Structure 1
Amino acid sequence: MDGDWESLRADVRRTIDELIADGRESGVQVAAYLHGSPMLDVHAGSADRATGRALGGDTPIWSASTGKALTATVVHVLAERGELDYDLRIAEVWPEFGRHGKERITLRHALTHTAGVPVLPADVTPEDFTDWDRMCAIVADSEPIAPPGAVSAYHAWTFGWLVGEVVRRVTGRRVSQVLAEDVAGPLGVADELYLAVPAADLDRLARVEDRNLSALFAFASANLPHFDRVAPAGVRPGAEIGSRADVLAAEVPATGTVTARALARMLAALIGEVDGVRLISPDRLRTVTTPDGPSGPEWVFGQQTTWGLGYALDDDGSFGAAGSGGSLGFAYPELGLTVAATKTLLAAGDGDPMEDLRVRIRDAVAARR
């Protein structure tokens, strides 16, 4: 199989090199698995332009909301073992959360962004994000914007504490610990998939920078009435947050720090077997990729969004997650394909080169079926 995809690899490499030469990108990783085996692993550019350190395939990059795929996967692995139930009422294991009429909110609502608690205080700070108990107390005391299940509202930040605290209360382990021990560890990528980066590994990370993502946030703040309520000015999910060592080391499981190859490997182990490891059963895969939640425009961005249990569902038959600035990870169960991409220069508004590469890889595989 290795030689079958040489032209595709060369095409992806050429595209990335051109993007870097044009200044649209600085450091990029793109990886894909096909039927449980790696088919593509391309990386180029700089991990840190200030020092000139090169970006390797094993260099983790903060990848914003693409990390939600890691958190959701933790839940499904635990559910596969019978340790979690999607219809668990959160207040049953986290009594404080039941305040202000939230006692009927379930883990399913949290996974499908219909819990009704996407809002954070306007004055929340990055320092607050490093205090797990403080952030959970804020979420527990929040007042819902709608009854559970009634409104699709992207829980940009609160998704992580909602899901992560349920995991902690049920298992006694932090969600980052479960990821390392039960997901990344068995796949041999515990040093490339993080929900909280160990202090000893911080120097290995690439350094993310803003290209024009901050301009998009400014536009959203001015034009979308709910944007600042979900992503207050001090904690917008861009380079300022993603380059802070204290936040990277903290448990903030609405985001993640990954390599493209490790993310593609994890997704491959959801849809099939990878070196003897399959994370969930075919039946559970069908369950978690079935559309769930209300139809209609999403509350924050006003777009039509379809959610499975923790993953975005796309019209092309894929499921996964994408992050602010251009990272992504998606799986195509019917094709046996997974594709992941992450990058250091966070951008928006001038096309989406990583999405273009994802489509190019998908189409190349689909054409050979």
Structure 2
Amino acid sequence: MAEPVTTMPSLQRKVQSVLDELVGTGAETGLQVAVRHQGVLVADAVAGVADGRTGREATPKTPFFSFSAGKVMTSLIAHLLVKTGAVGYDTPVVDVWPEFGAHGKATATVRHVLTHSVGVPAMPGGIGPADLPDWARVRAAIADAAPRWRPGTETGYHSYTYGFLVGEIARRATGKAMRELLREWVAVPLGIDGELYFGVPPTDLARLAWLEDAVPDPVIAPPDGDAVLAPWEMQPSAALGNDRAILRADIPSVGAFTARAMAAMNAAVLDGRLIDSRQLDVLTAVAFEGRDQVFGNPVRLALGYPLGRIGTSPDETPTTFGWLGGGGSHVWADTATGTSFAMTKTRLTPHFDTAQRLADLTAAETAAQA
């Protein structure tokens, strides 16, 4: 039975109105938004279709493949590894993964992985999208990669390598794959099994939303001479997000989820069910500030998350942490108001206008209740 939305009815109405407007004008085709405030579900809205080919309607239980928004799940597993004592934030990666120390990476720690400061932001040469399901091949290539900078000295967005770094640490420390840990440590205890995935079981593939590129279709240009990431690592495409081999594979840099489950997961982070208040303080503290060596923008990172939701001023003291997903999805949690927000959608846009509009609306409403 669906959990009823019984408080903050104005937020539910406003969010649903925005979603209906976006679908009605053709700006979007299918969306989900879920918000929890102080642990209570205060918005659970959906509009449009999950599959434009068939007209199948989107529902709150439709999982959406949401690219890097799935990194909130990756980072949470890393923090749960620390909680269980499997590793520490300052554990050298080579303590659990000795091969990773090649070419000067022996000083890299779990903390460096979480702050994207290890120095291997790009997939090594020869690794393309079709190779991502081959864990052993990708793991070996990353272990043998030479870092672009000395670990811990710079930061740069580790688009796909991030999930394999956390994932291999998890495999070595626990003997289990990320998809197993996500289910055992998060989804089953919270009652959201079947709504959070690293690798979708074949029997559940038909439930997923079908992604579509914004019009016109994106043109993936060859990288320029200074580019760090390959074009496919920087620019999401519906072809990649609908690929059954990709969807079925354990690739914990990207993930599929429902907005409702994601909001529930982060609410459990905020209220102490998954980690305690002391670890939450560590998780949300500024861990690295600098210029991103991939994109060139200034960044402020916590352990595993960019700080500040989309649209907030860099001068503000950040109380939110989360991830944007290529194509326009957005997941964040706010320690100041106890708010957990998740938005995902079918149409992959090169901007985050929809995410910012809904995030601003949610932040304003929940701040008024704080």
TM-score by length of 1: 0.93
Structural mapping, 1:11-30, within 5 Å: 11-30=14-33
Choose from 63, 67, 72 the match for 1:64: 67
- Once residues 100 and 286 of structure 1 are traced to their aligned partners in structure 2, the CA distance between those partners, rounded to angstroms, is 34
Match of 1:260 in 2: 259
Q: What is the 5 A alignment of 1:1-369?
A: 2=5, 4-211=7-214, 215=218, 218=221, 221=223, 225-226=226-227, 229-233=228-232, 236-273=235-272, 278-293=273-288, 295-314=289-308, 315=316, 316-349=318-351, 352-369=353-370
User: Identity percentage over the alignment?
Assistant: 40
Instruction: Tell me the secondary structure at the aligned position of residue 85 of structure 1.
Output: coil
* TM-fit CA distance, 1:345: 0.3
How far residue 78 of structure 1 moved from its aligned partner, in angstroms, is 2.3
Report how far residue 262 of structure 1 moved: 0.4
CA contact (8 A) 2:218 2:237 kept: no
Give the drift of 1:215.
3.8
Question: Structure 1: any 5+ residue segments left out of the alignment?
Answer: none
Q: Deviations over 1:195-234 (max 9, x none)?
A: 111111111111111115964864x945x932xx323448
Could you say if the C-alpha distance between residues 116 and 212 of structure 1 is closer, same or farther in structure 2, counting changes exceeding 3 Å?
A: farther
CA distance in 1, matches of 2:15, 2:121: 37
Q: d(CA) in 2 for partners of 1:233 and 1:291?
A: 30
8 Å CA contact 2:129–2:232 kept in 1: the answer is no
For the 8 Å contact 1:327–1:354, the answer to whether it is kept is yes
Structure 1 residue matching 2:74: 3-state secondary structure: helix
Amino acid at match of 1:361: T
Distance 1:241 1:2, change over 3 A: closer
CA distance in 2, matches of 1:289, 1:7: 29
Does structure 1 conserve the Cα–Cα contact (< 8 Å) formed by 2:31 and 2:345? yes
Displacement of 1:7 in angstroms is: 2.1
Structure 1 residues 167 and 19 mapped into 2: Cα distance closer, same or farther (>3 Å)? same
Give the Å deviation of 1:236.
4.4
In the comparison of the two structures, how many residue pairs are matched?
Answer: 359
Residues 186 and 147 (structure 1 numbering): CA distance in 2 closer, same or farther, change over 3 Å?
A: same
The letter for the 2-side match of 1:348 is: P
Q: What is the deviation of 1:3?
A: 5.0
* 1:122/1:232 contact within 8 Å kept: no
Structure 2: state its 5+ residue gaps. Answer: 309-315
CA distance in structure 1 between the partners assigned to 2:250 and 2:68 by the alignment: 14
Backbone CA RMSD of aligned residues = 2.0
Alpha-carbon spacing, 1:2–1:243, altered in 2? closer, same or farther (3 Å)? closer
